[in-house]
């Protein structure tokens, strides 16, 4: 049954909506695919719903082909399972909580590890039942702090989430690989370029995790990759640790005479002038910058921590969040300093007075490059005064190592596969080896081959359906509007009739019937009182892969054929149209 | 791709789950279609999801065929639109409310009249855009007080809700009829018997409403119907009003000497003994019973109201709820009586001291049969004393009329189509002519033919997808398990292989391939270590329309063929199997 624009519930806008910040939201609202209902909450209009359905179809297809079984769990979930894994608390403000009329606590689930683990516990009891991989396509909820990026960060959104259950690690490896392979096929079919990068398993508490990122300049995520095949989200980059150096024979530290050294470079120059090093001169990488961070722990307590890193590096707060998870991290403020009077001499902080065991009791952690035997220029905890040749493991120690430094182009890949380049991307999928964390917390055990109870090991695999749709719109558009890949376009062909008499309309109706006979999905712009200019602009904006315009030359049986993606336009006699459409 | 029970995420239970109260919940849980997650909240396992998908497919199909367009609105909805129509308050404890991190109010929408009205207001501006009918298939939420009936009264449930928008009443009539027709087709395809009954538009605030009820003994709704075609939910039954009688010439009321008359019958006998009526003797229908009800209004205030009805009738609290909506109604309690000291002489309440204008100020409303000129035996507001011949319109008056009396078999249909019979049913669909209530509250106006703004008139049409699934299970089962109608069964054919050697399995595998080649959907019980008894019991419990058992006679190429619905079983040579399956 043909869809006619004269009837379709659609209104296109000439201008970008004022409340949309990203290209995908602007275009999808302008083209009448979605409408905003509240911050991060959208209504799906007929065209948008068709794209969703096609994306869901591809995902479902590949999940089933990979042996996963579809189920559907509730969005409204009781508190207890999330309490058992501590996520009820860990999510902080990030989830929607509510009470029912009996004052019982519920949440709108942001993800379903707990409920899937309980479901398998409920149904299965033996290793013979495993492995099993379950999935659902379902609406999820997150109370995003800044839901301004349209569907990219919705508060109500649709996900395909899958969960694998295995008796042992080798099984989890296989299940994980199967899902990973399915994701590759899904993104290939969706026409979405991707990079698979190592990711931080972080809040999920897993042991291994990879992200599928779509490389795009406006991406929110930064990742690094080497020519030799290494790729990682910067949060997951692991700094190669240099070998420790011998401490013996290292010169004693030297207090540098006070001087005005407002920058690392001026400090390095000063040190090279007054206390030159044997061999190579001091460089910025030999200075030890001590940055004071404030952590907010889950129980609400606030802790001041100092991180020591080479002076040519900056603290990357996202990496610090991972390093100190689940605590929240921010630069320390005046209040934090006041709680430790007399400890910090700003600009001249040195590790000598720090450490959990020191009188200050303040934890001191260092970048992995700060290994035993390395000698540093750093603060002497006295206004204006620095010290050089301070040796790690002799003159100061640390409470631990933390990956807080930024990652840069040219840094080495940890696997030795060469220098890194950086790129930006958007997350389109995420696969986790969760291991036994959730199963342990929820008591998911089955009998093993020896009749003993064994804790199940889990994987978790997510694709945001509505997010993918937005990313497809980000990836496929031009100044005129959307340009849908064939596999997800709401219709294959957009037929436009223009002109005042019925010739073009009759021809278009005929063409529509022919195309539908050949099983093309067609939308037909038959609006009688809309100008040709508006119709053609709408055809560009809506973004179907193929546009057929019956207009000027309709009387001669000639129509214009557009390939929306290449931009090519040509006049085609109707008799040759079907072949030409098939060719595109 | 065949679904194998050795792999399917399924566990059947031999016994009814302890927390299920209704047949459908017991069977669906036992057969592994759903699992309870919290009160009124369920997980859908693979078999359940397949039935859902088929029901949704039929509904979607008929909606689209009827010209309705599919959209999808959020479940998480902002407070403001529901505030504008007063439903934020009216829903009372019946909905889930929550706040986001910025303290803004949201609800989990139980129905979407408001958001659809706003969506049409957002997109459309002219009568030329109308009519339009939109629908969605979506998860909805109600905080039911007693969510004990499985999917029949879920707290998270799936509905198809549709909304029509018209410029005038004639258009609404047409849109309503179109949806009503589509509903008839849907229920016919679902294999679900139905009666269309007049319903109370009640809380929806509409002008006309009909319910589709599935007649079933365990139904929660009572409805009445006449042989002449009248049918109504008892809440919607309208009592035929008798003609008023002349007051002039009616004898004066007579105080009956005190007597022990604990029942209506003893009172009638007493009256006939001490104050007989000219002509016919007094009957129970001539006594006026005055029942004290307590209303709780939306603003929380509590009001005592007295309803007067013939003594052979009882107050039907459900009908009273409709009569006094949106107030909640219950029998008055001791506290209510105490708030009106000296007014009520229990057992001897008469209307003489009642009425909004009386010193008591207590509203007095009457059954529609209590018309001017009717004479009654009723209480004299004095212990032990009744009065007879008290005439309505002369000796007492009422503040209004209310449909609070029960409706019974034998009562007349209001349209004169004969006496009523009563039946029980379950609501499977509901169609409303909402009129302009929502459009007015939300400012949904379009330009009419004269360029003036006109308020749009709306209809609302609902089918509970998950509820329908439960009702199908209630309607189609036997002592052995589920018996799915062909159009909604998760699979067409259930193939079972039994026996210790591979003969039956080889034959079954072959049969499965043949059936799939003919486009039947097949589930194959290939579980190697499960006993034949368990397999056959499971086949009965799961309820596929056709079961093929390859067992005892497999070596001779003979299988057993079950028609699950008729119960017929026959031995069939494999060569004839496809034809036999097709015949069922």
The answer for residues whose C-beta is within 8 angstroms of residue A253's C-beta and 6 or more apart is A387, A388, A389, A390, A391, A395
- Nearest chain B Cα to A51, which residue? B71
Torsion angle (degrees, nearest 10) of CA B255, B260, B262, B267: -40
DSSP state of B304: E
With 90 as the cut, is the pLDDT of residue B306 above it?
yes
> What proportion of chain B, given as a percentage, has pLDDT over 70?
99
The CATH homologous superfamily of the domain defined by A23-237+421-474: Bira Bifunctional Protein; Domain 2 (3.30.930.10)
The CATH homologous superfamily of the domain defined by B23-73+109-216+424-474: Bira Bifunctional Protein; Domain 2 (3.30.930.10)
> What proportion of chain B, given as a percentage, has pLDDT over 90?
85
Q: Mutate which of A5, A6, A54, A106 to test chain B, going by most B C-beta atoms within 10 A?
A: A106
DSSP 3-state assignment of B378?
strand
Q: Are B498 and B532 in contact (CB under 8 A)?
A: yes
Work out whether strand A254-256 and strand A288-296 pair parallel, antiparallel, or are unpaired. unpaired
With 80 as the cut, is the pLDDT of residue B203 above it?
no
B37 vs A69: CB contact, 8 Å cut-off?
A: no
Only one residue has tokens 């050949």, namely A518
Mean pLDDT of chain B: 94
Q: Per-residue confidence at B549, pLDDT binned at 50, 70, 90?
A: very high
Q: Are A117 and A128 in contact (CB under 8 A)?
A: no
- pLDDT at residue number B205: 64
Residue B65 CB neighbours (<10 A): 11
- pLDDT at residue number A441: 96
Return the CATH number of the domain spanning residue range A491-583: 3.40.50.800
Residue B583 CB neighbours (<10 A): 9
The alpha-helical segments, DSSP class H, found in B138-293 are: 169-189, 264-274
The C-alpha atoms of residue A78 and residue A403 are separated, in whole angstroms, by: 36
**B146 has a chain A CB within 8 A of its CB:** no
| B544 burial type by CB count under 10 A (0-12 exposed, 13-18 middle, 19+ buried) | buried
**B238 has a chain A CB within 8 A of its CB:** no
| B208 burial type by CB count under 10 A (0-12 exposed, 13-18 middle, 19+ buried) | middle
- pLDDT at residue number A202: 63
**B255 has a chain A CB within 8 A of its CB:** no
**Please, what is the Cα angle at B16 between B15 and B17, to 5 degrees?**
115
Of A477, A484, A489, the residue nearest A27 (C-alpha) = A477
| pLDDT tens per residue across span B366-399 | 999 999 999 999 999 999 899 999 999 999 999 9
**B126 has a chain A CB within 8 A of its CB:** no
- pLDDT at residue number A203: 58
The C-alpha atoms of residue A219 and residue A225 are separated, in whole angstroms, by: 16
CA distance A222 to chain B (A): 28
Cβ-based contacts of B4 with chain A (< 8 Å): none
ipTM of model: 0.89
Of A522, A559, A561, A568, the residue nearest A542 (C-alpha) = A522
Q: Which fold has domain A254-401?
A: YbaK protein (3.90.960)
With 90 as the cut, is the pLDDT of residue B400 above it?
yes
The C-alpha atoms of residue B285 and residue B265 are separated, in whole angstroms, by: 10
Omega of the bond prior to A139 within 30 degrees of 0, cis?
A: no
Q: Phi and psi dihedrals of A479, rounded to 5?
A: -65, -15
| pLDDT tens per residue across span B122-154 | 999 999 999 999 999 999 999 998 888 899 989
The alpha-helical segments, DSSP class H, found in B411-484 are: 437-442, 465-475
CA distance A34 to chain B (A): 9
Q: pLDDT below 70 — which residues of chain A?
A: 201-206
Residue B88 CB neighbours (<10 A): 17
Please state the domain extents for chain A.
Answer: 23-237+421-474, 254-401, 491-583
B123 vs A78: CB contact, 8 Å cut-off?
A: no
Of A49, A76, A124, the CB nearest to B72: A49
**Please, what is the Cα angle at A365 between A356 and A318, to 5 degrees?**
130
**A70 has a chain B CB within 8 A of its CB:** yes
Beta bridge partners of A35: A43
Of B45, B70, B78, the CB nearest to A49: B70
Of A161, A116, A136, A173, the residue nearest A439 (C-alpha) = A116
For residues B16-41, give the mean pLDDT.
93
For residues B311-340, give the mean pLDDT.
92
Sign of the CA dihedral running A417, A418, A419, A423: negative
With 90 as the cut, is the pLDDT of residue B326 above it?
no
Q: Are A561 and A577 in contact (CB under 8 A)?
A: yes
Q: Per-residue confidence at B202, pLDDT binned at 50, 70, 90?
A: low
**B520 has a chain A CB within 8 A of its CB:** no
Strands (E), B267-405: 288-296, 302-310, 328-331, 363-366, 375-382, 385-391, 400-401
- pLDDT at residue number A577: 93
């Amino acid at each position: 049954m043909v869809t006619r624009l004269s009837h379709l519930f659609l209104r296109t806008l000439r201008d970008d909506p004022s409340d949309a910040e990203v290209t995908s939201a602007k275009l999808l609202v302008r083209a009448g695919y979605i409408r905003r209902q509240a911050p991060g909450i959208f209504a799906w209009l007929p065209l948008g719903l068709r794209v969703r359905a096609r994306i869901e179809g591809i995902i479902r297809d590949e999940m089933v082909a990979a042996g996963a079984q579809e189920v559907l769990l509730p969005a409204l979930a009781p508190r207890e399972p999330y309490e058992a894994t501590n996520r009820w608390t860990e999510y902080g403000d990030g989830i929607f909580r509510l009470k029912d009329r009996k004052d019982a606590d519920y949440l709108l689930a942001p993800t379903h590890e707990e409920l899937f683990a309980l479901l398998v516990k409920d149904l299965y009891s033996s290793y013979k039942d495993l492995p099993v991989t379950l999935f659902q396509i379902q609406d999820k909820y997150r109370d995003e702090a800044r839901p301004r990026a349209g569907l990219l960060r919705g508060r109500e959104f649709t996900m395909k989430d899958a969960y694998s259950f295995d008796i042992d690690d080798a099984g989890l490896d296989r299940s994980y690989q199967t899902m990973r392979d399915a994701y590759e096929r899904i993104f290939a079919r969706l026409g979405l370029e991707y990079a698979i990068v190592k990711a931080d398993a972080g809040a999920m508490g897993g042991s291994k995790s990879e992200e599928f990122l779509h490389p795009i300049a406006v991406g929110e995520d930064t990742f690094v990759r080497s020519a030799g095949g290494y790729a990682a989200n910067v949060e997951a980059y692991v700094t190669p640790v240099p070998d420790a150096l011998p401490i013996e024979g290292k010169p004693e530290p030297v207090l540098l005479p006070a001087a005005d050294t407002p920058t690392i470079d001026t400090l390095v120059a000063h040190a090279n002038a007054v206390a030159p090093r044997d061999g190579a001169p001091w460089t910025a990488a030999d200075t030890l910058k001590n940055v004071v961070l404030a952590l907010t722990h889950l129980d609400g307590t606030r802790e001041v921590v100092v991180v020591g890193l080479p002076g040519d590096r900056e603290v990357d707060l996202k990496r610090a969040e991972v390093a100190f998870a689940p605590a929240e991290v921010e630069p320390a403020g005046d209040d934090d300093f006041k709680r430790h009077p007399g400890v910090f001499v700003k600009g001249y902080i040195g590790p000598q007075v720090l450490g959990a065991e020191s009188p200050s009791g303040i934890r001191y952690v260092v970048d992995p490059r700060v290994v035993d035997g390395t000698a540093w220029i750093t603060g002497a905890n006295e206004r204006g005064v620095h010290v050089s040749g301070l040796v790690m493991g002799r003159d100061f120690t640390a409470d631990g190592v933390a990956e807080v430094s930024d990652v840069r182009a040219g840094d080495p890949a940890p696997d030795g596969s060469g220098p890194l380049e950086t790129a930006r991307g958007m997350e389109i999928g995420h696969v986790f080896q969760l291991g036994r964390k959730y199963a342990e917390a929820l008591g998911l055990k089955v009998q093993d081959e020896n009749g003993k109870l064994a804790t199940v090991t889990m994987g978790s695999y997510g694709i945001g359906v509505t997010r993918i749709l937005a990313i497809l719109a980000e990836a496929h558009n031009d100044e005129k509007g959307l340009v849908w890949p064939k596999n997800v376009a709401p219709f294959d062909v957009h037929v436009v009739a223009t002109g005042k008499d019925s010739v073009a309309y009759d021809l278009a109706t005929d063409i529509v019937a022919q195309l539908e006979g050949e099983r093309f999905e067609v939308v037909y712009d038959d609006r009688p009182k809309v100008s040709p200019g508006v119709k053609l602009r709408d055809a560009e904006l809506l973004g179907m892969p193929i546009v057929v315009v019956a207009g000027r030359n309709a009387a001669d049986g000639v129509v214009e054929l557009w390939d929306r993606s290449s931009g090519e336009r040509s006049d085609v006699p109707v008799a040759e149209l079907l072949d030409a459409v098939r060719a595109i």
